[in-house]
Amino acid sequence: MQNYKNLCRLLAKYYVCTLLMFCYRVKTYNQRQQLAPVLDNLRSLGKRIGFVPTMGALHMGHISLVDKALKQNDVVVVSIFVNPTQFNNEEDLKKYPRTLDRDVKMLGEKGENIILYVPSVEDLYGNNVVSGHFAFDGLERQMEGRFRPGHFDGVGTVVSRFFEIVKPGKAYFGKKDFQQLRIIETMVKNLKLPIKIIGCEIHREKDGLAMSSRNERLKPNYRDAAPFIFKTLKAAKKRFGTESAYKVTEWVRDQFAGHELLKLEYFVIADEETLQPVARKSRSKSYRAFIAVFADDIRLIDNIALN
């Protein structure tokens, strides 16, 4: 009887393990030579291929992009690659969270129409780990471009390489990196690539903090302070209804001037189309406020549509 019970327990364990392995199974490729023919074959069968590029440490913001892509395509390629050429700070690159096992599990739960591409640096760059030079109609000179020199050349290089390999019909980018989204739209337009860029809304924690892989690194007191960023953005939006961009900007600077934990790097109100800072408001234009803040050594960015 005891032996029978042990056998049942063993079988149950085996069943659960197999089920988990099945649930978490994601077709994963590390080399473009292996991935490209698989995608060519899918394309020849008329399958629509969507693409969600990420640097991993996935959170619900990424998953919402994957969900949207799954709804609009037959197959979704998700890439996980911490791109060295877009980091202008060695420490930031070193400390960027890497959680591949957890990421694979999260994607596995999304079903079988996901293909994961986790290339090595060599697979994308060979032995020449440098960026190309890109002009994005001047969008690259504002905000992140001013404070992170070379960042958008790195983003342009890696995303254009991904586009060459994956050749998606649609690619998905979050609006938290709104400047990046505008830059990729411009790159696709300038290079006449047959790819539709889909911008996806910012995903927030319950307390308003924009979801970001970097949030994982916040110490508890900084994590508690961080929702102040979105709170200030919301208040700035309200003020922008009646005050000039200059006055709102001064007000935001004052809010952070006395803050114990959060250090403002920039706050800019800009035209959504050109990303040029607004000098005088016009009714026919859409504006957005952009912010970058240091919480300890962790840099957080966020933005809000103003009208």
- The residues carrying an active-site annotation are 62
**DSSP state for residue 84 in the 8-state scheme:** G
Judged by CB, which is closer to ligand PAF: 86, or 249? 86
Contact status: 66 vs ligand PAF (CB under 6 A): no
Q: How far apart are CA 76 and CA 112, in angstroms?
A: 10
Q: Is 156 among the residues that bind ligand PAF (CB under 6 A)?
A: no
- Residue 177 touching ligand PAF (CB under 6 A): yes
Residue in 35, 55, 115, 304 binding ligand PAF, rule: CB under 6 A: 55
Name the DSSP letter for residue 218: -
- 63, 66, 155, 289: which one binds ligand PAF (CB under 6 A): 155
Residue 286: what are its φ and ψ, rounded to 5°?
-105, 135
The residue within the footprint of ligand PAF, chosen from 49, 75, 159, 300 (CB under 6 A), is 159
Q: How far apart are CA 29 and CA 252, in angstroms?
A: 46
Report if residue 52 touches ligand PAF, rule: CB under 6 A: no
Give the C-alpha distances (Å, rounded to integers) separating 246 from 35, 45, 252, 278: 50, 55, 10, 9
- CA dist., res. 80 & res. 220, Å (int): 27
Q: Which residue of 50, 53, 108, 145 would you call a contact of ligand PAF, by CB under 6 A?
A: 53
Q: Does 86 bind ligand PAF (CB under 6 A)?
A: yes
CA distances from residue 10 to 17, 22, 157 in whole angstroms, order as listed: 11, 18, 51
262 touches 218 (CB < 8 A): no
The helix/strand/coil state of 117 is strand
Can you tell me the distance from the alpha carbon of 293 to that of 307, in angstroms, rounded to the nearest whole number? 23
To ligand PAF, the closest distance from the beta carbon of 4 in angstroms equals: 53
Cα dihedral 122/196/275/245 (nearest 10): -130
Q: Pick from 83, 142, 157, 303 the residue near ligand PAF by CB under 6 A.
A: 83
Segment interacting with ligand PAF (CB under 6 A) among 13-21, 50-58, 108-116, 280-288: 50-58
Q: Does 116 bind ligand PAF (CB under 6 A)?
A: no
Q: How far is the CB of 130 from ligand PAF (least distance, A)?
A: 15
Q: How far is the CB of 111 from ligand PAF (least distance, A)?
A: 22
Q: Could you list the residues that contact ligand PAF (CB under 6 A)?
A: 53-55, 83, 86, 155, 158-159, 177, 180
